[in-house]
């Protein structure tokens, strides 16, 4: 569900090498960061539909897909890049990485930089960012308690098959 909308608004992101590289990083449980971001985008669309929220679908999808675009393994600490404060700093890193490759609207920037609210203290400023921060927490909970399993150990692709796995 929602694959068509994801491909319509963000096929360039889904097909990019950097986005595909996120399948090598674990997010929670056995979910890769790539699967997590796709899952958050789909859940954001489901929230939009369930509550009939009038919002910008393109910004919602692109912001959700890029919200964790930090591009490192946050479970591995090393001297060059200690990730102990990953929770606080990864939104800024994701925003910088995303800006290098894509034009970001102000809504997309707000989604990425505020998705860890309330850690960010300053709350989201648009409804798209509120939706993604809620979707992210919901998906993270399901992944952490392993209700939602990833492809890493199961050999299956979460949800429907995405062409960007190739
Ligand atoms: Fe995050
Ligand atoms: Fe996330």
Domains recognised in the chain with CATH numbers? 3-165 (1.10.3210.10)
CA of 97 to the centre of ligand 1 (A): 14
Instruction: Supply the DSSP symbol for 97.
Output: H
Measure the CA–CA gap between 139 and 152, rounded to whole angstroms.
Answer: 17
> Which tens digits make up the pLDDT trace of 19-67?
999 998 877 777 899 999 999 999 999 999 999 999 999 999 999 999 9
CA of 40 to the centre of ligand 2 (A): 7
Q: Which ligand is nearest to the CA of 86?
A: 1
Using the mean position of ligand 1's atoms as its centre, give its distance from the Cα of residue 90 in Å: 7
Instruction: Please give the distance of CA 16 from its chain centroid, rounded to a whole number.
Output: 15
Query: Model's pTM, two decimal places?
Result: 0.86
Neighbour tally for 54: CB within 10 Å: 6
- For residue 99 the two structure tokens come to 């800006």
Kindly state the tokens that stand for 136: 């992210």
């Amino acid at each position: 569900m929602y694959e068509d909308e994801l491909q319509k608004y963000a096929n360039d992101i889904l097909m990019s090498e950097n986005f595909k590289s996120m399948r090598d990083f674990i997010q929670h449980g056995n979910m890769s960061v790539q699967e997590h971001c796709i899952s958050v985008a789909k859940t954001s669309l489901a929230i939009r539909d369930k509550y009939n929220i009038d919002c910008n679908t393109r910004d919602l999808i692109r912001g959700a897909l890029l919200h964790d675009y930090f591009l490192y393994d946050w479970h591995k600490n090393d001297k060059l890049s200690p990730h102990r404060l990953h929770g606080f700093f990864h939104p800024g890193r994701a925003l910088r990485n995303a800006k290098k490759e894509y034009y970001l609207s102000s809504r997309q920037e707000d989604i990425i930089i505020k998705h860890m609210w309330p850690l960010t203290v300053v709350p989201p400023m648009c409804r798209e960012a509120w939706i993604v921060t809620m979707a992210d927490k919901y998906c993270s909970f399901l992944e952490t308690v392993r209700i939602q399993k990833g492809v890493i150990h199961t050999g299956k692709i979460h949800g429907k098959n995405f062409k960007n796995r190739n």
